[in-house]
Structure 1
Amino acid sequence: MENKQVTAATNGNVYIPISERDGAESVVYFTRDLSAEGLRRMYERVSGGMTGKVGIKLHTGEEHGPNIIPRPWVRELVERDLPDATIVETNTYYAGDRDTTEKHRHTLEVNGWTFCPVDIMDEDGATTFPVSGGKWFSEMHVGKNLAHYDSLFVLTHFKGHAMGGFGGSAKNIGIGCADGKIGKKEIHAHPGEGQWSIAQEELMERMAESAKATVDHFGEHITFVNVLRNMSVSCDCEGTAAAPVVTPNIGIVASTDICAVDAASVDLVYALKPEERHDLVERMESRHGLRQISYMHELGMGNWRYRLVDIDHGDAEIQLADAVAGVVPFEG
C-alpha cells in the first residue's frame, strides 16, 4: 500500500481514493443547497478568520460567461455578511476580454459585477510573496494590491480546465492572484519558450506553489468555498465558447484547508455514476490535474484526508456516495 501511494501520488493522471491517502484529517462542510442562502450558510461555517479589510477572490469570467457563480448570490452575501469587502481580480495572461485593465473593467460591467468595489490588483503592477519549500519558485509575483488586504475569502466555481484539468481553490488563487504580466508567465512558460510551454505535473506543481505564496501570506485569515454547479469541462475563461455542461450539479463545500476543499470537490465528482462523471474525470486525468491535490499535501498546505460534514442534516459526518445520491443530470 505504501509503495502504491508514493508511486501514484506523483502522477496526476492517477486517482487516489481517500481510503488510500495518509496523514491527518481536516473538516470540510457540505450542502446541497445551491442558492444564495446556501452560500451564506457555508461562508458562516468558515468565516472566523475574516477580519480587517477583506478581499473576495473569485473568477468574474469572460463576457457573458454562462457558468460563473450567479451574481445575485454574491451580492446577497456581500450585502448581508461582507458589506465592506472588495472583489479582487488580476488581468489575464492570455488575450481576451480581461488582458488589460480597461477591457477587464468593461467585462466586469457586462457580467454584472457592479454591486461592490472590484480591485484589479495588478492595475499598478506586481509585488512578490515568498514561496516556502517550493522546488520551482522561491517567490511569486502577485497583483500589487493583494498586500493591502488583511483577509482573503476564496470563492471558487469548481469546474474543468483546458490545461489544469480542473479549476478549484488552488487554481483560483494560484493563477488568479498572480499578476498578468510576470507571475502568470512564470507559471505557464519556460524562459525563451512558447506562451504555454509548461504542462502536466510541472504546471500543477507551479500552480500549487503560487497558491502557497498566498495561503502562507494570509495564514489563519484565508478561507475557501467551492461551488460545484454548472461544471463544464471548460474554465470560465472560455466564456461563451465553454463546452456544454453534462455533469450533474452537486452542491457547495467549504473549509479553512485549501487542500481538503479541493480534494473533497474532486472526490465528489468521482463519487458520481460513471456516465455522469465521465467527461469531467477524463478532463482531470488527461491533463494530470490530480497532481494539484497530492502536491499541495506534499507542500504542507493542508490535508488530502478530511471529514465531510453535512450541514443539511445536523452536521452529521457523511460518506461521499451519500452526498451525491439523488443528483440529476444537468439540464441547462
Structure 2
Amino acid sequence: MTDGSRYIPYDERTGAESVVYFTRDLSAAGIMKVFEKVNGNITGKVAIKLHTGEPKGPNITPPSWVKEVMEKEPCLKDARIVETNTFYKGDRYTTEDHRKTLAINGWDFTEVDIMDADGTITLPVNGGKWFKEMSHGSHMLDYDSVFVLTHFKGHTMGGFGGSNKNIGIGCADGHVGKMWIHAKNGNDWGVNEEELMEKITESTKATIDHFGKNITYVNVMRNMSVSCDCEGVDAEPVVTPNVGILASSDILAIDQACIDLVYAMTEEEHKALVERIETRHGHRQLSYMKELGMGNDRYKLIDTDNGDVEITQKEAVKDLKPFVRIDARK
C-alpha cells in the first residue's frame, strides 16, 4: 500500500521521462521564458487558472507579472483568468464577495471569470475509485485550452499546493465539487489524508482529460509558506528560500520536480516544508497521479538560463539566497 508520507527518491522510480524546464528568473520575463517552451498546444480561447488569493495575502504570484505575461504572449492576448468560489465561508464564498477580493488583490486589470457564477457541469472521471464524475463551474466549457499558472507552496490539508491542487480544487465548483472532495458526510471536513489526496487528483483528471493536449503548466517556487494562499494574511511565515520557475506539459513531472527541488535543499532550508508535506501525506498526490496514468515522475530538468542544458536538482538549488522570512501576519 502506498504511503503518502514517504518521499520516493528518484532512483526508486520507474518508467518514461518527461521534460521540465527551469529558470531562476523570478519575474514576468521568467514566466514567459519557460512558458514559451511548452505553449505549442495553447490555442483558441484560453483560460489561465491561477490562485488569486484571500484579501491582501502577501505570497500570491504578483498580478503585475501576470498582466505583463498576458499583454506580451501572443497566445494569451484574449485569455481570461479563471477561478471558482470556495467551499468554506469567507471572502470568496459568493461571487459578489469573490469579485471584491479580486479587486483588493489587484486582479481588476482584467475581467476574471468565476466559472461557477452561473451554475455547474459535470465531467467524467475515467478510472477513479472515488468519483465517476466531478462537478465544475459551467464556464469551463467556454474554453479550448488552459494555462495552469501555479504558485507552488505548502498547504494545510494537502501538504503542498502544486498544479494538481490548483486544478483539482480550483476548477471544482465551490458548493458541489469542492464539497464532494472535502466533506465525508456532506457537511464536515472528515476526509483522511490519503483519501483527500486521491480525491483532489481524480478531480484534476477530469479537467486534464477534458482538455487533452491543450493544457500546460508553470509552477512558481517563490514565497513558499507552509500555508496555502487561501489563508491570506494568516499564513505562516515564509522560511523556505525562493527557487525559480518551472514549466512542463506533464502535470506529474512538474509537481514531482518541485518536490524534488525542495528535498534537494539543505535540512535547514527545507525542514518546515518537508514536515508539512509528509505529515499531510502529500506525496500521495504524486503516486496517485502516476497510478491514474496522468504523467511521469521521472524527467529531464532543463536549465534555460545556461543554454538549455540538463542539470541535477542539487545544481538547481546550490546557490539559493537566504531565507525570505516573510511573516504574513504582521
- Give the TM bin, normalised by the shorter chain: over 0.9
The one of 208, 211, 222 aligned to 1:215: 208
Query: Conserved in 2, the CA contact under 8 Å of 1:165 and 1:284?
Result: yes
Tell me, in whole angstroms, the C-alpha distance in 1 between the residues paired with 2:322 and 2:136.
38
Name the residue aligned to 1:123: 117
Identity of aligned residues (%): 64
Name the residue aligned to 2:139: 145
Name the residue aligned to 1:236: 229
Between the two proteins, the alignment pairs up a number of residues equal to 323
Q: Does 1:43 align with 2:13?
A: no
Provide Cα deviations, 1:191-233, integer angstroms capped at 9, x if missing partner.
35x5211121110000000000001000010000000000000
- Any idea what SS the aligned residue of 2:319 has? coil
1:189, distance to aligned residue in structure 2 (A)? 1.1
Query: Conserved in 2, the CA contact under 8 Å of 1:246 and 1:329?
Result: no
Name the residue aligned to 2:11: 19
Tell me, in whole angstroms, the C-alpha distance in 1 between the residues paired with 2:322 and 2:14.
33
Name the residue aligned to 2:259: 266
Tell me, in whole angstroms, the C-alpha distance in 1 between the residues paired with 2:161 and 2:323.
19
Structure 1: which 5+ residue stretches go unaligned? 1-6
Tell me, in whole angstroms, the C-alpha distance in 1 between the residues paired with 2:212 and 2:198.
20
Tell me, in whole angstroms, the C-alpha distance in 1 between the residues paired with 2:151 and 2:323.
16
Task: Find runs of 4+ consecutive structure 1 residues off by over 4 angstroms.
Answer: none
1:71, distance to aligned residue in structure 2 (A)? 1.0
1:92-107 to 2 correspondence within 5 Å? 92-107=86-101
- Any idea what SS the aligned residue of 2:174 has? coil
Provide Cα deviations, 1:255-283, integer angstroms capped at 9, x if missing partner.
00000000001110000000100000000
1:328, distance to aligned residue in structure 2 (A)? 1.9
Query: Conserved in 2, the CA contact under 8 Å of 1:152 and 1:218?
Result: yes
Name the residue aligned to 2:48: 56
Tell me, in whole angstroms, the C-alpha distance in 1 between the residues paired with 2:237 and 2:6.
25
- Any idea what SS the aligned residue of 2:116 has? coil
Tell me, in whole angstroms, the C-alpha distance in 1 between the residues paired with 2:3 and 2:11.
18
Q: Does 1:65 align with 2:62?
A: no
Query: Conserved in 2, the CA contact under 8 Å of 1:263 and 1:293?
Result: yes
Q: What is the RMSD computed on CA atoms of the aligned residues? A: 0.8
Tell me, in whole angstroms, the C-alpha distance in 2 between the residues paired with 1:195 and 1:314.
51
1:190, distance to aligned residue in structure 2 (A)? 1.7
Provide Cα deviations, 1:114-168, integer angstroms capped at 9, x if missing partner.
1222100000111001100111111000111011100000000000000000000
Q: What is the TM-score with the length of structure 2 in the denominator?
A: 0.97
- Aligned AA (1:59): H
1:329, distance to aligned residue in structure 2 (A)? 2.5
Provide Cα deviations, 1:79-112, integer angstroms capped at 9, x if missing partner.
1111200000000001111000000000000000
Tell me, in whole angstroms, the C-alpha distance in 2 between the residues paired with 1:239 and 1:128.
30
- Any idea what SS the aligned residue of 2:36 has? helix
Tell me, in whole angstroms, the C-alpha distance in 2 between the residues paired with 1:191 and 1:137.
15
Tell me, in whole angstroms, the C-alpha distance in 1 between the residues paired with 2:104 and 2:153.
22
Provide Cα deviations, 1:155-190, integer angstroms capped at 9, x if missing partner.
000000000000000000000000001000000112
Query: Conserved in 1, the CA contact under 8 Å of 2:269 and 2:323?
Result: no
Query: Conserved in 1, the CA contact under 8 Å of 2:130 and 2:199?
Result: yes
Query: Conserved in 2, the CA contact under 8 Å of 1:87 and 1:119?
Result: yes
Structure 2: which 5+ residue stretches go unaligned? none
- Any idea what SS the aligned residue of 1:170 has? helix
Q: Does 1:178 align with 2:147?
A: no
Q: What is the TM-score with the length of structure 1 in the denominator?
A: 0.96
1:42, distance to aligned residue in structure 2 (A)? 1.1
Name the residue aligned to 2:219: 226
1:330, distance to aligned residue in structure 2 (A)? 2.5
1:161-200 to 2 correspondence within 5 Å? 161-192=155-186, 194-200=187-193
Name the residue aligned to 2:304: 311
Query: Conserved in 2, the CA contact under 8 Å of 1:163 and 1:199?
Result: no
